[in-house]
Chains A and B, each alone.
Chain A
C-alpha cells in the first residue's frame, strides 16, 4: 500500500501568515488522486482539495493544492483563526486508500 508521510508534524504560525504543508508518497499517486482534509477538534474531517489541486465546494480560495507524482503541497495563503486545525492528505488512486499521519497547525 502507498504510505503517505506529512511534514512538519506541527506547524506554529500566526494569523495572517502563510502555511505550507507537505505530503510525500512512498510511490507515485495515480492520476493525482490526492486529497486534503481539515479536521477541527471533535469534528469529522472536511474535504478541502481533491485531484491534488481542485478546491471542494465552498472552500475559500486562500486554500490551494499543488504537486504530482510523489510530492504534494497544501498552501494556506493568509491564515484565519478558524484554520488552526489538523490537516490530513489522502491518496485514493490505489487500493487501499491511505491517509497521512497529519500536520497540526497551531497558533
Chain B
C-alpha cells in the first residue's frame, strides 16, 4: 500500500532553516507529483508547492517569497521541503501529499511539527 513517511519534529530558532523529508513507498515514485501543505495552529491548510517525481519540475506558492525549496532523490524515493529564514509564524504541521490521477491529494504523510521559537 502507498505510504508517505515524514521525518520527525523539529525545533528551530528564528532565522534558521528546516528541511523535512517525505519517504515514499508502495508505488513508482517517478510517476507522481508530491505536494507540500502546512497547517498552522487553528488555521486552514495552506499549499506550499509541488515537485514532479519524474522530471524534477517544481512550482511554489508566492506566499513564501522564495523561502521554500522542494527537491527529490529518486534513488531514495524521497521528497524534501526546505524552508529558510524561519519566523514564529512558520510554526505549523507540515504535510507531504501524493497527487492522484484525479489531481486531488490521495495519500498524505503523517505530518511533521516544526516549532520556531527563540
Contacts and interface: CB of A to CB of B under 8 A. Distances in A.
B44 A45 contact: no
Please classify how large the interface on chain B is, using the bins under 10, 10 to 19, 20 to 34, 35 or more.
Answer: 20 to 34
A99 B104 CA distance: 12
A96 B61 contact: yes
Contact of A96 (B47, B105, B108, B110): B47
Interface in A81-98: 88, 90, 92-93, 95-98
Question: Is chain A's binding surface mostly helix, strand, loop or mixed?
Answer: loop
A92 to B, nearest CB: 5
A97 B109 CA distance: 18
B101 to A, nearest CB: 10
B8 interface: no
B46 A44 contact: no
Contact of B44 (A33, A57, A93, A100): A100
Given A33-B103, A54-B102, A92-B104, A99 B45 contact: yes
Contact of B45 (A45, A47, A93): A45
Contact of B104 (A44, A50, A98): A50
Contacts of A88: 44-45
A44 B95 contact: yes
A56 B97 CA distance: 15
Given A95-B59, A96-B61, A47 B47 contact: no
Nearest to B95: A44
20 contacts: A33-B103, A44-B95, A44-B108, A45-B95, A46-B108, A47-B100, A50-B100, A50-B102, A50-B103, A51-B104, A54-B102, A56-B104, A56-B106, A90-B105, A92-B104, A93-B103, A95-B59, A97-B35, A98-B47, A99-B44
Interface of A: 33, 35, 37, 44-47, 50-51, 54, 56-57, 88, 90, 92-93, 95-102
